[in-house]
A and B are shown apart, each in its own frame.
Chain A
Amino acid sequence: MTGLARPQGAPFAFVIALLAVAVAPAHAQVAPHQHVPAAPPIAQQVQPEEPPRAEDHAGMDMSGVDVSGGSTKMDMGRMQGGKAPPDARDSNDYADGYRNSSLPGYEMADKLSIPKILVDELEFATGNEGQGFGWTVLVTRGQDNDKLWLRSQGLKNSGDRLDPESSVEALWWHSKNPFWGTLLGVRQDLGKGATTWLAAGVEGLAPYWFDVQLTGYVGDDGRVAARAKASYEVLFTNRLILTPQVETNVYSKRSTDRELGSGFSNVELSGRLRYEISRKFAPYVGFVWERALGGTADFRRADRELVTEHRVVVGLRVWW
């Protein structure tokens, strides 16, 4: 949830359908030189025999693949990302060895380290597993393309049970791509049977404005895990915004303490409808549907708990 997507008003059903496949384009996007062949934007407007052809773009990722049928087309893959061709200009050549002035008072705003605290979700939840409260918080600080991330999410219900995905992460976010960044750091689980993990991942904004976070983990107990999240923003108005979100977690081995099986442990679908009284202050209501999977579901059944949870949430999204 780092970039606020500015979606183009697709209806909710359409969004949900796309959400289901959101992870796929995200994977492709982060792999170097393997952009998804983004839909050619001006399909019929470019003549097939025009000068700009794929061979002008040696070293670039796109080969003019046409995904929608028809004539040769330009595509956004060429205009975004990619790798510099060998004959690209070097802007420093214009300096002839000169350096910028060293007088005091120089404009330094492009080097500001800007802190941001985003309490994306702070909510009261009530559902078939009782009541509780949940949170998703992201604190970032740093310059444009290098930041410290503190990321936490969790859910505590009335049975004093902490959701097994409750955790705090400290990550270094670094970006070499206009829409994507990499994450490197540690995750500390919260609650019983907590594991400490090394974390590495990617996050960013996929085509069609999907916010994506994918993180892989290696735990101090030898387990390997991954967490994937994708969300979208549907603007009913410029202040009334629906955020559908999908999350899933996967573990290489079971953890009895946390009652997590091996393989995919859960999938969670949610929608939160907020009203931005100001950009920084937005109350919301929402609905969460979560299903435990595989071995994790078995743990739940053994505890006589429900495999499928649903809850209504009421909360506040604030940032500053």
Chain B
Amino acid sequence: MPSFHSFPIARRRFVQGLAVGAGVAGFAPALLAKSLSASAGELRGTEFDLEIAELPVNYTGKRRVATAVNGAVPAPVLRLREGDTVTLRVRNSLKEMSSIHWHGIILPAEMDGVPGISFAGIAPGETFTYRFEVCQTGTYWYHAHTLAEQTGLYGAIVIDPKVPTGSVPDRDYTIMLSDWSDEPPLQIFTNLKKLSSYYNFAQPTAGDFLKDVGSMGLGKALERRRMWNTSRMNPTDYSDISAATYTYLMNGTTPAGNWTAIAAPGEHVRLRFVGAGTATFFDVRIPGVALTIVSTDGQAVVPVTVEEFRIGPGETYDVEFTMPDGDARTIFAQSIDRTGFARGTIAPAPGMVAPVPALDARPWLDPVDMMGAMTAMGGEHAGHGMTEMPPKARHARTEYGANTDMRVDYPRANLDDPGAGLRGRSWRVLTLADLRTPTGDPDPREPEREIELHLNGNMERFIWALDGIKLNDSRPLHFKPNERLRITLVNDTMMAHPMHLHGMWSDVEAPDGTFQVRKHTVVVQPAQRVSFRVTADAMGRWAFHCHLLYHMAAGMFREVVVA
């Protein structure tokens, strides 16, 4: 990568928040206790009573109202057991309709919790009883399938195997990474609709241009900008929403609050990371500790040891390591746009702290993030494993309208790219290509057919769509019962989209078309093609959408009908 990509960009200081965030109205002691042990906010058993209600909070110095479950943000960890049939009575004490979706859980369609698709939502004052058999293990989560996901309605689900397998770690923590705003989510959405760059305060400036002219000459400075200027695309469009409004939280605690996990030297630790950001990808690392990824989206993977990994909204990653010594270590999760971070500590004792790394500079997106395989064909940005031209994307008729500001004809198909901002690290960063399910293809049937869908949008107008069609202008995807089919996603945009199919697994294929890893949320990078196989073994109506909340709201969402 050319060195001129690494200009330091002035970054706004972001709100690191108050030390004690949630529960200003008397919940503070309980929260402090919880920050020392993840199990304090854990519910076990087969019968659960959950109440969705407002909770006064103060993360930034301003009093706001969050959406809590049983008085907690994040919602309590639900510890379930494989094989149990669980009953969850969810009472909605809000003044508006609400819902809980069990993210990644295989269950009957009417228990899935998507308003308008699984059921009608939970009306104010009403209780909805979810009941399903738990037929899987691992780390999952639950959240509102409404804008209340932004205001705190999210919690982890940990499912233990019926028969214990493998080694049990000495320490086992869930770590929910999320983003809090003092602004109501509907206002964030309308702000973006009115001005899509509303929260981007790192746009290239005249000063940046002059610096480039000084360092590389006028011709190269103009050349560097030409692709972006002609296409009216912004090279700093990593994220719609930045620390200009967000305070990033780790288990509901601000960076200043420093959520702390306890582990003694030599202890074997498992951290279960949940990407609960509504609009934020996090890049996670624990400086000085190599992280062994043992599962993703609840599914075991062939262990792979990395220094850093990117987690998208909706994804989960279980990470294991042995506490090397008696020093404190910082759990550092910077936002993809490098405007802020969530931060916690793992240490042998409470109160210990370690240095917090500086935020990285925000580089521009690379040409590969707009041009896909066209860039990798032979240019200076090649080198992500591309050797031959991948197949041409088949655009839909509806991609030639106002909802689609760009189309990629030759998307890149390689999965060994950590993504913009993580390329060229001196340490190992996880890529999708590193994730492999050890037990092979769960359904070795070859896909009978393929559904190609393009992820696209109009950044200027904050329109997001699939095949150029927003949810309410679309028709559902029809899956035939028990068929094995291939979904091929092509990302025509310059943002990564975590695509989440409800009710059925997404069995991601390697570029050669063989099965690679089972996921429930598949991140498709800019100008990338990713294919996954689906066994349509879950009758009914399901949601399939981008897990960036505001993209989903804006229309990057399709209904799926298995019938």
Contact = CB atoms under 8 A, between A and B. Distances in A.
Q: Are A and B interaction partners? A: yes
Contact of A237 (B205, B375, B406, B471): B205
A78 interface: yes
Contacts, number: 262
Contacts of B381: 45
A21 interface: no
Interface stretch (A93-101, A151-159, A212-220, A300-308): A93-101
Contact of A105 (B115, B226, B458): B115
B474 A3 contact: no
Nearest to A174: B402
A111 B451 CA distance: 26
B225 interface: yes
A11 interface: yes
A133 interface: no
A79 B478 contact: no
A188 to B, nearest CB: 26
Contact of B230 (A38, A84, A108, A111): A38
B204 A178 contact: no
Given A91-B453, A101-B541, A103-B117, A279 B402 contact: no
B95 interface: no
A34 interface: no
B392 A52 contact: yes
A45 to B, nearest CB: 3
Contacts of A89: 394-397, 452, 467
B555 A110 contact: yes
Interface in B148-199: 189-191, 193-195, 197-198
B232 A39 contact: no
B119 interface: yes
A106 B378 contact: no
Given A100-B474, A101-B559, A107-B471, A79 B541 contact: no
A91 B471 CA distance: 12
A178 B459 CA distance: 9
Contact of B371 (A3, A74, A111): A74
B341 to A, nearest CB: 20
B396 A91 contact: yes
A193 to B, nearest CB: 36
A175 B401 CA distance: 8
B477 interface: yes
B388 to A, nearest CB: 10
A11 B117 CA distance: 52
B477 A52 contact: no
B458 A110 contact: no
Contacts of A209: 229, 232
A234 interface: yes
Given A105-B97, A106-B116, A175-B402, A10 B410 contact: no
B294 to A, nearest CB: 35
Nearest to A75: B230
B195 A279 contact: yes
A100 B371 CA distance: 34
B209 A4 contact: no
A69 interface: no
Contact of B202 (A39, A91, A114, A238): A238
Nearest to B371: A42
B406 to A, nearest CB: 5
Interface string B432-473: 000000000000000000011100001011010011111111
Interface residues of B, number: 95
B115 A176 contact: no
B460 A41 contact: no
Contact of B116 (A103, A145, A237): A103
Contact of B406 (A80, A88, A111, A144): A80
Residue among B201, B229, B474 facing the most chain A CB atoms (10 A cut-off): B229
A222 interface: no
A47 interface: yes
A55 to B, nearest CB: 13
Interface string B533-563: 0000000010000000000111101010101
Contact of B400 (A9, A39, A84): A84
Interface string B191-231: 10111011011111111111000000000000001111111
B402 A145 contact: yes
Interface string A37-51: 011011011110011
B406 A9 contact: no
Contact of B377 (A3, A45, A82, A92): A45
Given A6-B234, A98-B561, A178 B409 contact: no
B328 interface: no
A107 B115 CA distance: 7
B405 A80 contact: yes
Given A45-B379, A101-B559, A208 B229 contact: yes
B410 A52 contact: yes
Contacts of B197: 4, 6
A94 B206 contact: no
Contacts of B554: 109-110
Contact of B209 (A10, A91, A114): A10
B232 A179 contact: yes
Contact of B206 (A45, A176, A178, A235): A235
Interface string B85-124: 0000000000001010000000000000001110111000
B229 A88 contact: no
A44 B223 CA distance: 11
B396 A238 contact: no
Given A56-B392, A103-B120, A176-B402, A279 B198 contact: yes
A299 interface: no
Interface centre among A6, A99, A177, A279 (most CB of B within 10 A): A6
B116 A235 contact: no
B392 A107 contact: no
Contacts of B206: 9-12, 234-236
Given A9-B209, A98-B475, 6 more contacts: A91-B469, A101-B541, A205-B460, A207-B230, A238-B201, A279-B198
30 contacts: A4-B195, A8-B204, A9-B225, A41-B227, A42-B227, A42-B367, A42-B371, A45-B375, A47-B377, A79-B370, A90-B398, A91-B397, A91-B469, A94-B477, A98-B561, A100-B471, A100-B476, A101-B117, A101-B541, A103-B115, A104-B121, A105-B99, A107-B557, A144-B193, A145-B402, A179-B405, A207-B230, A209-B229, A209-B232, A237-B205
Q: Which 3 A-B pairs have the closest CB atoms?
A: A45-B379, A106-B116, A41-B227
